[in-house]
Amino acid sequence: MKEFTHLIDLDDFDLDFIERLITLGADIAVNTKRYSSACFGKVLATLFYEPSTRTQMSFQTAMLRLGGTLIGFDNPETSSVAKGENLKDTTKIVSSYADIMVMRNPVEGSAKAAAISSDCPIINAGDGGHLHPTQTLTDLLTIRMEKGHCDNLTIGICGDLKFGRTTHSLCKTLSKYKGNKFIFISAPELMMPDYIKDIIKANGGTYTEKYSLEEAVPELDMLYMTRIQRERFTDANQQLAANFNLTCDIMKLAKPDLIVMHPLPRVDEIELKVDDDPRAKYFIQAKYGVYVRMALILEVLKNDHPVKLLTKGFGSYDCTNPKCVTQREKYLPHSFHRKGDVLVCDFCEAVTLP
């Protein structure tokens, strides 16, 4: 297993590294042309096993604006995956063509599984309901550019907080900044999981839960809206859970310097007329995604922060998560680390009882 600066999980990096990326992204946003040949001769592979507009195209734009070139697929059915090729072989081959690989895959833990057999750095562009770290980097650069700082903010997170991988990564990272207060706004069935709340508390942050946008909005410096992820629902109560809708009337209750963000795609959780409010930042947010991904490509190619992938402990146990990559790619080692009384899968982070 070769060592690279893979971006599988932002937790693999300290806040100094993340801040360096955001600062570089902010410079690239202002001085984009200065970086136009920084990746001359380099090849980026984008392997998208799941639909994407922003993540895929912003990575492609990022590499092209750095002077590099692209290979890849956006539909596995047009690659040899359709003939049954496993993740290991696909990764091994593509990493011998490319200098850096970006992958989105619906299977949880698949980015880490790809990194094990890769001969180049892997960037996780979303692995099922698990993680989406480059969305968090996009969000952080947006907050830096639009608020000037990522600390001492009252942050509303609204929508499907149970299945929304972007909200999990964002809360984990923003809780590392000092003085941030979180207000979670959702239906009880779709509230933020306890393990994220525990991380916020452990990092010294605070949170409250509310079931009404009208009640929460007046306090907020930033409101992060998300769509309801019906495709990931597992029971009927979740199907019935109330949708939240940000309207112009609710915006009248908000501070004049509120910023409204959304990872997009939007379904119906933000009224279209809100787009004309100068506090709506979700379209510029998607554009900041190009600049922060340019910064990320440059930092990853430096390869000076190798990431440890597996602990290889407790190999006789099976991960109990049916969506874990170890259930699909049977050649993978079973690798866990202990957390208190339980075992945590090194791929998908699901908990298994020993």
Positions that interact with ligand CP (CB under 6 A): 52-55, 135, 263-265
User: Does the active-site annotation cover 104?
Assistant: yes
Using CB atoms within 10 Å of the CB of residue 337, give its burial: 0 to 12 exposed, 13 to 18 middle, 19+ buried.
middle
Residue of 6, 65, 104, 162 marked catalytic:
104
Q: Which is nearer to ligand CP, 54 or 323 (CB)?
A: 54
Residue of 5, 6, 54, 138 marked catalytic:
54
User: Does the active-site annotation cover 266?
Assistant: no
* CA–CA dist 142, 284 (Å, integer): 8
Nearest distance, CB of residue 229 and ligand CP, angstroms? 11
Q: Which is nearer to ligand CP, 116 or 274 (CB)?
A: 274
Q: Which is nearer to ligand CP, 66 or 131 (CB)?
A: 131
User: Does the active-site annotation cover 142?
Assistant: no
Nearest distance, CB of residue 51 and ligand CP, angstroms? 7
User: Does the active-site annotation cover 54?
Assistant: yes
Residue of 5, 6, 46, 55 marked catalytic:
55
**7, amino acid identity:** L
Nearest distance, CB of residue 171 and ligand CP, angstroms? 16
Maximum pairwise Cα distance, the chain = 57
Q: Which is nearer to ligand CP, 126 or 205 (CB)?
A: 126
Q: What is the SS3 assignment for 287?
A: helix
Between helix 133-147 and helix 165-174 the angle, nearest 10°, is 60
* CA–CA dist 112, 118 (Å, integer): 10
Q: Which is nearer to ligand CP, 65 or 227 (CB)?
A: 227
Residue 198 neighbours by CB under 8 Å, 6+ apart:
none
User: Does the active-site annotation cover 132?
Assistant: yes
Q: Is the N-terminal amide bond of 265 cis, ω within 30° of 0? A: yes
Strands (E), 57-128: 69-73, 100-105, 122-127
Nearest distance, CB of residue 164 and ligand CP, angstroms? 11
DSSP 8-state secondary structure symbol assigned to residue 346: T
Q: Which is nearer to ligand CP, 293 or 334 (CB)?
A: 293
Q: Containing H/E element for 236?
A: helix 236-240
Residue of 65, 112, 130, 132 marked catalytic:
132
Nearest distance, CB of residue 166 and ligand CP, angstroms? 7
Q: Which is nearer to ligand CP, 44 or 116 (CB)?
A: 44
Q: Containing H/E element for 224?
A: strand 222-225
Nearest distance, CB of residue 57 and ligand CP, angstroms? 8
**Alpha-carbon dihedral sign for residues 236, 242, 348, 351:** negative
* CA–CA dist 165, 198 (Å, integer): 16
* CA–CA dist 350, 336 (Å, integer): 10
* CA–CA dist 189, 164 (Å, integer): 13
Residue of 33, 83, 252, 302 marked catalytic:
83
Nearest distance, CB of residue 54 and ligand CP, angstroms? 4
Classify the phi-psi angles of 198: left when phi > 0, otherwise alpha if psi is within -120 to 50, otherwise beta: alpha
User: Active-site residues: which are they?
Assistant: 54-55, 83, 104, 132
